[in-house]
Amino acid sequence: MKLSKRAENVQASPIRKLMPFANNAKKKGTHIYHLNIGQPDIETPKEMLNVYKNFAEKVLAYGPSQGLELYRNNLVKYYQKHQIEIKADDIIVTTAGSEAIVFALLTACDEGDEVIIPEPFYTNYNGFATMTGVKIVPLTTYAENGFALPSSEKISKLITPRTRAIMLCNPGNPTGAVYPKSEIERICEIAIANNLFVVSDEVYREFVYDGMVHTSILDIAGMEDLAIMVDSISKRYSACGARIGCLISKNKTFISAAIKFAQARLCPPTIDQFAANAAIDIEEKYFKTIIAEYDKRRNVVFEELQKVDDIICIKPTGAFYIIAKLPIENADDFAKWMLEEYSLNGETVMFAPAAGFYATPNVGKNEVRFAYILNENDLRKAMHIFREGLKTYQNRINT
């Protein structure tokens, strides 16, 4: 029985495909430092976990399709703290950021329409594009200049009659790049001139370092009708398993249409929304502590990477990822080799080959992404193993 073409074509997770090799290594007794996925080790705030403990309703009922009103009202206050002025009705609570992106693509694009996305990009955008029949048009950015956005001329060249949106991830997964306000404004100028939506994935909003200030797409004047924001609590509160995100736009027609898609799936998880709601009142201190922790880790990983000869890696200013261009040909092969054949005192490191984050074929093949989601001590050890492994791999290839 033949499956659909899209089922045959949809990308298998380029990160998860290494899992069998990791499992085999574990079976052999090798300890693996996981720097391959964005699952933070930070504890979920007690304020959230207490909501599950104290849930007192007798019926675990549907919530509204747009999300609990209580939660949406509270979200307005959260965004105010970030100088983002929206109303509760501008928000649709979604089943994590994933669903928000799917709703955004369905509402903005028909099948065959195009969305321009700077690459390397979050690899699951490919899956969402396949689900919705949307074509991703990659805008290549480079490790050499910290994955800065290309010139407006280069971007404009990618616009066709089918282009419906530009999609950004800011701060960026997998790049760690944070776009300054002037850059976001530049993108918005292009969007306004060409009547395109800008879909901005801002799930790492708080994760900025070196005094960088995050700019939301919702804070750009003149973009009321074109700005679509995607958000999630997964990384913010280390609550990836709660599956709560949201889709926000001041464009009332857009939100009304997206709500119809939301109605079809009835509602996002109910208790998890109450938990997300409790997180909003967490004191500033919580973020200061975890951002300081990630900042320290960022410095550790960057410092350790600098010890590698011929590496190209500009220090990123956001999220908790760092991409390095390595002096090897095939990072896919290297990542697999680290799991299958290498270990140092019974330990090895797992990281993500970056080619899967590019849509352009054969780009990024010598790049890897690290998620710095381990404590400083483990990170030091992991990066030492990485460097030793890389040397052995290079010598092995050269002999």
Handedness of CA 227, 228, 232, 235 (dihedral sign): negative
71 is an interface residue for a second copy by CB under 8 A: no
User: Does 213 sit near a second copy (CB under 8 A)?
Assistant: no
The least distance separating a second copy from the CB of residue 132, rounded to whole angstroms, comes to: 8
Region 190-209 residues binding a second copy, contact defined as CB under 8 A: 195, 197
Residue 268 as a binder of a second copy (CB under 8 A): the answer is yes
- Alpha carbon distance 339, 377 (integer Å): 21
Residues 6 or more apart whose Cβ sits within 8 Å of residue 32: 22, 25, 26, 339, 347, 348, 349, 350
Which of 54-62, 299-307, 312-320, 325-333 is the region at the interface with a second copy (rule: CB under 8 A)? 54-62
Q: State which of residues 91, 108, 149, 218 lies at the interface with a second copy (CB under 8 A).
A: 108
Q: 228 to 257, contacts with a second copy by CB under 8 A?
A: 238-243, 251, 253-254, 257
316 binds a second copy (CB under 8 A): no
Decide: 352 and 363 in contact? Cβ < 8 Å: no
Interface with a second copy (CB under 8 A), residue from 27, 61, 309, 377: 61
Name the 3-class secondary structure at 281: coil
Which lies closer to a second copy via its Cβ, residue 58 or residue 285?
58
Burial class (CB in 10 A: 0-12, 13-18, 19+), 96: buried
Distance CA 137, CA 315 (A): 27
Neighbours of 192 (CB within 10 A): 15
Select from 108-116, 148-156, 309-317, 388-396 the region that touches a second copy (CB under 8 A): 108-116
Using CB under 8 A as the binding rule, the residues of this chain from 327 to 386 that contact a second copy are: none
Among the candidate windows 38-46, 291-299, 308-316, 347-355, which touches a second copy by CB under 8 A?
38-46
Q: Structure tokens of 65?
A: 């399709």
Contact in structure between 125 and 271 (CB atoms under 8 Å): no
Distance in angstroms (rounded) separating the CA atoms of residues 399 and 396: 5
Taking the least distance from each CB to a second copy, the nearer of 76 and 257 is: 257
| Window of 61-69, 179-187, 318-326, 381-389 that interacts with a second copy by CB under 8 A | 61-69
254 contacts 228 by C-beta, under 8 angstroms = yes
Q: Shortest approach of a second copy to residue 102 CB, angstroms?
A: 8
Residue among 61 and 213 whose Cβ is closer to a second copy = 61
